[in-house]
Amino acid sequence: MKLFSLATIIFSLALAACHADDKGKAMEILTNPPAEPTAKVEKTDEQWKKELTPEQYRILRQSGTERPDGAVYEQFKKQGKGSYHCAGCGALLFTSEQKFDSHCGWPSFYDPAKAENVIIKKDYSMGMVRQEVVCAKCGGHLGHVFEGEGFNTPTDKRFCINGGGLKFVPDK
């Protein structure tokens, strides 16, 4: 019984810590666009760990997914016109022109702003086949793309993107 109580307390503290950590996480906002990489960005795992926040590293380098409807998504819904860049390398990925609210809990876009900066590849994880969205410049995991869901957009695609892997630059 004491072991069960101790395990319950530890689990509750860990859950509270995760929730508190998520509330503090937000999409980085820049005042100027980052330098656009002209070639592939290759770094060691240690370099990525030093340059990225733990959440950015988990998303971009370990194919992590932020929880839905979190602080990043709330911030995304309030952002006006601007551009969205890879948090790993600064490549331009999306703009507010392609942004729409799909009510899925993650930032959504119907098309990339710069197609050459985005790669779509097969993802066989989690016992299903999905289309993973990856930054073409640094190989960072961004999210997944879904087609044919009936959204009233020009492409009928939903690029479901982890906001923690993006940096937002508001238009001036």
- Position 80 in a domain: yes
Residue 28 pLDDT grade (very low, low, confident, very high; cuts 50, 70, 90): confident
C-alpha 34/C-alpha 149 separation (Å) is 33
Quote the tokens at residue 15: 């859950």
- Position 86 in a domain: yes
Q: What is the number of other CB atoms lying within 10 angstroms of the CB of residue 34?
A: 17
- Position 113 in a domain: yes
- Position 5 in a domain: no
Three-state SS annotation for 22-43:
HHHCCCEECCCCCCCCCCCCCC
- Residue ranges of alpha helices (H) inside 34-80 are 45-51, 54-60, 71-78
- CATH code for the domain in which residue 85 is found: 2.170.150.20
H or E segment at 15?
helix 2-24
- Burial bucket for residue 72 (CB in 10 Å: 0-12, 13-18, 19+): buried
Residue 27 pLDDT grade (very low, low, confident, very high; cuts 50, 70, 90): confident
Tell me the pLDDT tens digit for each residue of 7-23: 333 333 333 333 334 44
How many domains is the chain partitioned into structurally?
1
- Position 7 in a domain: no
Percent of all residues in the chain with a pLDDT value above 70, rounded to a whole number: 85
- Position 57 in a domain: yes
- What pTM was estimated for this model as a whole? 0.83
pLDDT value, residue 24? 41
Q: Which domain holds residue 166?
A: 27-170
- Position 19 in a domain: no
- Is the pLDDT score of 5 beyond 70? no
- Side chain identity, residue 116: E
Catalytic residue list: 160
Mean pLDDT on 104-130: 94
- Position 20 in a domain: no
